[in-house]
Amino acid sequence: MYIKIADCRMVDTRSRKVERVDIGVKDGVVDAVGEVKAKADKALDAHGDYVSPALVDLHSHVYHLGTSLGVDADEIARSWGTGVFVDAGSSGAGNFAGFRDHVIRRSGAKIYAFLNIGFGGIPFFGIHGDQQAGEIPDIRVADEDACADCIERNRGDIVGVKVRVSENANGTLGVEPLKAARRCARRAKVPLMVHFGRPQPTVKEVVSLLDKGDILTHAFRAEPNSIVEGGHVLREIAAARKRGVVMDIGHGSGSFSFDTARRALADGFKPDTISTDIHTLSLADPVVSLETTMTKLLGLGMSMAEVVLAATYSPAAAIGRPEHGSITVGRPADLVTLSLSAGRKKLRDAAGEAMEFDGEIRPVLRLKGNRVSRPGAG
């Protein structure tokens, strides 16, 4: 079976320029990018839409039915263009095996995990509605040995260590959970992803402990504890990026602000990766999808090429799985075409502010192997 998708716009991952290409897929494997000379059994016309690898969501919660915050990755993948979900600490060393055997192994989507330094992951999310209780009530719950051992046994599935440090997530312990997570990540030689929120600790304290390849998620959260002070990004944040810390959106139900985004972008500071922090309390509103989050950054001033790379190439690189970040000849086909719908679209940030945008990024075609589908069409 030979499938051709004609007239696509594709972002070159090296030059970051947009190219007009055709794509050929032979028996489920990418055969040609650019000019397709082979005769196609099935020909599709992208009509100038963007084509990209299936989207990579760097911050999601997909331990479905195993935690209170887990959503169904397969359901989202059928409705939208995300093909790779990176779970951000839903499970810890004490319950990762359940996540692996009952969700990761059974999913049609590709799922990786950041392992929570907390032994039980995030077990108390959503108590009393939208309230939270920290997963590390005692620093002994941050079991570094168990975390490192679990990573070693599951290198194919676990891509890093996750820790949450904020007022409502282990806040009384300050940076101690972060220090424990950092020691574990260095020992296992994997990246560290850090959630920060309302202090304590402050974002300045947090980034002082992050190194090249580590990820600061919720980077565009609102005050208090924003990365922006006045009209400029904090010098500690700028220094962290210079040494290679990845700045991730991690939208969620409380961690993305149009105001912070406007001020950061006006200061020339763009996120490295765009992710959803999708979970049971953020799925319906304000997150909806990774495409919706991309739409917000597009409307705030990033280019289409930039938002596509921030949801494909860059997150794939951040987890050390670059094969998911580009359309490469010889690799199994898993790609999506994206269009910008016509008309005005009102969207909300996590602080409740609403903005109108010119259109919305939507998936049009999904090609995985030899199977062509239209996301949302069943």
Residues 214-272 pLDDT 10s: 999 999 999 999 999 988 999 999 999 999 999 999 999 999 999 999 999 999 999 99
Q: What is the pLDDT of residues 36-75, one digit of tens each?
A: 999 999 999 999 999 999 999 999 999 999 999 999 999 9
Judge whether 102 and 66 are in contact, CB under 8 Å: yes
List Cβ neighbours of 178 (8 Å cut-off, separation of 6 or more).
163, 165, 194, 201, 206, 209
Token pair recorded at residue 207: 């980034």
Q: What is the model's pLDDT at position 132?
A: 66
CATH class of the domain whose range is 2-51+329-373: mainly beta
Check pLDDT > 90 for residue 130. Answer: no
Place 125 in a pLDDT band, splitting at 50, 70 and 90: confident
Provide, rounded to the nearest whole percent, the portion of the chain with pLDDT above 70. Answer: 97
Residues facing residue 358 across a β-bridge: 344
Q: Is 297 helix (H, G, I), strand (E, B) or coil?
A: helix
Token pair recorded at residue 283: 């799925």
Pinpoint the residues of the chain covered by CATH 3.20.20.140: 53-324
Closest CA to 17 of 329, 305, 346: 305
Judge whether 319 and 159 are in contact, CB under 8 Å: yes
Pinpoint the residues of the chain covered by CATH 2.30.40.10: 2-51+329-373
Token pair recorded at residue 113: 């995990």
Rg (CA), the chain: 20
Place 124 in a pLDDT band, splitting at 50, 70 and 90: confident
Q: Does the reported pTM lie above 0.95?
A: yes
CA distance 333 to 79: 18
Q: What is the model's pLDDT at position 133?
A: 73
Q: What is the model's pLDDT at position 378?
A: 44
Q: Is the dihedral angle over the CA atoms 362, 368, 374, 375 positive or is it negative?
A: negative
CA angle 180, 217, 358 (to 5 degrees): 175
What is the residue type of 280? T
Q: What is the model's pLDDT at position 377?
A: 62
Judge whether 320 and 159 are in contact, CB under 8 Å: yes
Lowest mean pLDDT, pick from 124-133, 299-308, 343-352: 124-133
For β-strands 334-340 and 344-348, DSSP reports them as unpaired
Place 169 in a pLDDT band, splitting at 50, 70 and 90: confident
Judge whether 262 and 228 are in contact, CB under 8 Å: no
Give domain 53-324's CATH superfamily.
Answer: Metal-dependent hydrolases (3.20.20.140)
- Give backbone dihedrals phi and psi of 10, rounded to 5 degrees, phi first: -130, 140
Q: What is the model's pLDDT at position 15?
A: 87
Closest CA to 123 of 87, 70, 78: 70
Place 127 in a pLDDT band, splitting at 50, 70 and 90: low
Place 139 in a pLDDT band, splitting at 50, 70 and 90: very high
Share the mean pLDDT of the chain. 95
